């Protein structure tokens, strides 16, 4: 499944690719240094999957940069956001909204509301 990474993450991935290319390494050579399967670096750099922080830090380390140097060159565009999802369910005459994220959930109960009125 292909994901859509944010512009901020795409910028960081592009910077990783630039660092790799500056070393003269192919993506296959990077795969070998990271000890990951063939093609993994290309998948990550293309934004086809959102990498974990651990993977990004491992890539930075293999490339010989410090996390501070790597992130210090990052110029955020002001559009970074936390992905969120909302679950809504009717509960009698109330509408229950649930905002799940990782191990934290928030719930809001809208009294005497219904799904039709909420989404219109």
101: enclosing H helix or E strand: strand 94-101
| Tokens (6 digits) for 97 | 């909204």
User: C-alpha distances in angstroms, 36 versus 22, 44, 55, 78, 117?
Assistant: 21, 11, 10, 33, 50
38-85 pLDDT, tens digit each: 999 999 998 888 888 888 899 999 999 888 888 877 776 666 666 666
CA dihedral for 109, 110, 114, 115, sign (positive or negative)? negative
**Does position 7 have pLDDT exceeding 60, yes or no?**
yes
pTM: 0.61
**Who has greater pLDDT, 39 or 109?**
39
Higher pLDDT, 114 or 55: 55
Q: Which helix (H) or strand (E) holds 44?
A: helix 40-46
Q: Where are the domains of the chain?
A: 7-72, 87-119
The superfamily (CATH) of domain 7-72 is lambda repressor-like DNA-binding domains (1.10.260.40)
């Amino acid at each position: 499944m292909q994901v859509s990474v944010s512009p901020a993450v795409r910028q960081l991935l592009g910077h990783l690719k630039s660092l790799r290319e500056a070393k003269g390494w192919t993506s296959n050579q990077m795969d070998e240094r990271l000890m990951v399967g063939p093609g993994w670096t290309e998948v990550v750099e293309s934004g086809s999957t959102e990498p974990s922080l651990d993977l990004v830090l491992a890539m930075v380390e293999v490339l010989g940069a410090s996390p501070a140097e790597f992130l210090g060159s990052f110029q955020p565009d002001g559009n970074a956001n936390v992905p969120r999802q909302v679950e809504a369910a009717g509960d009698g005459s109330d509408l229950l909204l649930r905002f799940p994220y990782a191990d934290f959930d928030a719930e809001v109960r809208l009294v005497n509301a219904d799904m039709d009125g909420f989404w219109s």
